[in-house]
Amino acid sequence: MSEGEAPGARGMSSLTIEDVVCVPLVGESPKGGWSNEIQPDDSIHALIAVHTAGGASGYGSCFTDGYLAKEAVRQLRPLLIGENAAEVGRLTETLHQNSFWMGRGGTLTHAISGINIALWDLLGKAVGLPVSVLLGGRYKERIEPYASLLMDEPEKMGDVLSGYVEQGYRAFKIGWGPFGRSGSYARDEAIIRAARDVLCHGEHLMVDAGGSDAFWPNRLKWAMRTADMLVDYEVDWFEEALQPDDLEGFVALRNYSRVPISGAEVLTRWQSFRPFIEAGAFDIIQPDVTKVGGITEQRRIVEMAEQHGVAYVGHGWNTALGLAADLQMAAAFANTPFVEYIGGSRYVDGILETPFTLDADGFLDIPAAPGLGVTLDSGRLDGIAVGLEALRL
């Protein structure tokens, strides 16, 4: 290093963006519990790479149809070529500002999320620091994941959970499936009872009604009555109990319920979160870093929530790169208690050189290597990543 040259300066000087690519993931999509169920060959996630003239690359992911995301990246790419990848905030805001007319908050914003995560990954690699340190520092080195699982019939629910207890998980969120869809409060309670009967040693249990499913049938009175039932089962939070845009309903439910109310996973951009946070709609806000606009946007939302006494647990129904971003965010905010971990998804468990593993306490280590701290494995991605070579792994 020459005299007067700052550490990392040589790496920073070669961060001119040469290409931005999107690679859809197919063939292993996990079930979502949706009324219009995801099929294994559907694409609901994509990987995004930002390549630089110096040879370094950063990687991110977004939660949307991968082919839609690929077209969105084609539209956004000209705004990034030739730019300095280290200017993460300016570049991301440039993408937002120049895509208003194409529709804010949809696939374009989801694609911007993946690009933003990739830019943070690149910057961290360039300066030799994990993203969490770039965000201000690490409050924790490990965190408890909750296994995110679909609900099943009462006679099956216990068996589903038992398998994950044996894997070492100590926190669980069960959701969607038959819950709230049969018109039977007794059946709903039987599902929760079956789950709690297995989790009888202090394990955490969260309940996700899945109110963002198409034509969600239940309204405020159902949510209130169900919240009363959940109190007896020591549920940590009640998620997506209403349709996602029902601001007044969520405010009323939060004021009524003795169980914490969470939601907002489908909202994107900080502007959409602001009225829900300021109105007191949630005890826990759940932005998704692969949809909301990326790490930069999620940071704004979390800071706004903290100012209003609202807790943060990221929605993380995505890929290993999305989980890696969630882990870095969790490290950077002192009071984040959990990260979401999709149970049994190849897109989480089967695309990294070193897969995530639980420690003896059921916790995940937060990667401390530069950037997101994880490395994609081309061999593991072969057959499920469309246009894998474009990632330059």
Q: What is the pLDDT of residues 42-59, one digit of tens each?
A: 899 999 999 999 999 999
pTM of structure: 0.95
The per-residue pLDDT for range 185-230, each reduced to its tens digit, is: 999 999 999 999 999 878 999 999 999 999 999 999 999 999 999 9
What confidence score (pLDDT) does residue 63 get? 96
Whether the CA torsion 285, 286, 288, 289 is positive or negative: it is positive
Pick the CATH number of 133-372 from 3.20.20.80, 3.20.20.120, 3.40.50.300, 3.40.50.720: 3.20.20.120
Mean pLDDT to the nearest integer, 125-130: 98
Quote the CA–CA distance of 100 and 78 in Å, as a whole number: 16
pLDDT at site 4:
46
Q: Phi/psi at 364 (nearest 5 deg)?
A: -110, 135
The percent of residues above 70 in pLDDT, for the chain, comes to 97
Structure confidence by residue, pLDDT tens digits, 309-351: 999 999 998 999 999 999 999 999 999 999 999 989 999 999 9
pLDDT for position 13: 65
Look up residue 181 and give its amino acid. R
CATH of region 9-129+380-391 = 3.30.390.10
Q: 314 with 286: CB under 8 angstroms?
A: yes
**Residue 236 clears pLDDT 70, i.e. is over it:** yes
Residue 5 has pLDDT above 50, yes or no: no
**Number of residues assigned to the chain:** 393
CB 58 within 8 A of CB 80: no
Record the tokens describing residue 252, joined without a space.
């009323």
**pLDDT digits 0-9 by tens, 28-87:** 988 888 888 888 888 999 999 999 999 999 999 999 999 999 999 999 999 999 999 999
The pLDDT tens digits for 273-285 are: 999 999 999 999 9
Domains 9-129+380-391 and 133-372 share a fold: no
What's the rounded Cα separation, in Å, for the pair 33 and 31? 6
Residue 141 has pLDDT above 90, yes or no: yes
Q: What is the pLDDT of residue 217?
A: 95
* pLDDT classification of 1: cutoffs 50, 70, 90: very low
Give me the pLDDT at residue 7, please: 46
Q: Which residues face 25 on adjacent strands? A: 45, 385
* Residue 384 CB neighbours (<10 A): 20
pLDDT tens column, 346-375: 999 999 999 999 999 999 999 999 999 999
302, burial (CB in 10 Å: exposed 0-12, middle 13-18, buried 19+): buried
Strands 238-239 and 261-263, how do they pair?
Answer: parallel
pLDDT of residue 163: 94
Q: In which band, very low, low, confident or very high, does the pLDDT at 6 lie, cut at 50, 70 and 90?
A: very low
Confidence of residue 265 (pLDDT cuts 50, 70, 90): very high
Take residue 69 and report the two structure tokens written for it.
């995301």
Bridge partners, 361 (sequence order): none
Question: 232: how many CB neighbours lie within 10 A of its CB?
Answer: 11
Domain ranges of the chain: 9-129+380-391, 133-372
Mean pLDDT of the chain: 94
Separation between Cα atoms, residue 244 and residue 224, nearest integer Å: 16
With helix as H, strand as E and coil as C, how does the chain read?
A: CCCCCCCCHHHHCCCEEEEEEEEEECCCCCCCCCCCCCCCCCCCEEEEEEEECCCCEEEEEEECCHHHHHHHHHHHHHHCCCCECCCHHHHHHHHHHCCHHHCCCCHHHHHHHHHHHHHHHHHHHHHCCEHHHHCCCCCCCEEEEEEEEECCCHHHHHHHHHHHHHHCCCEEEEECCCCCCCCCHHHHHHHHHHHHHHCCCCCEEEEECCCCCCCCCCCHHHHHHHHHHHHCCCCCCEECCCCCCCHHHHHHHHHHCCCCEEECCCCCCHHHHHHHHHHCCCCEECCCCCCCCCHHHHHHHHHHHHHCCCEECCCCCCCHHHHHHHHHHHHHCCCCCEEEEECCCHHHHCCECCCCCECCCCCEECCCCCECCCCECHHHHCCCECCHHHHCC
Please report the pLDDT score of residue 12 as a whole number.
65
Confidence of residue 11 (pLDDT cuts 50, 70, 90): low
Query: Residue 10 above 60 pLDDT?
Result: no
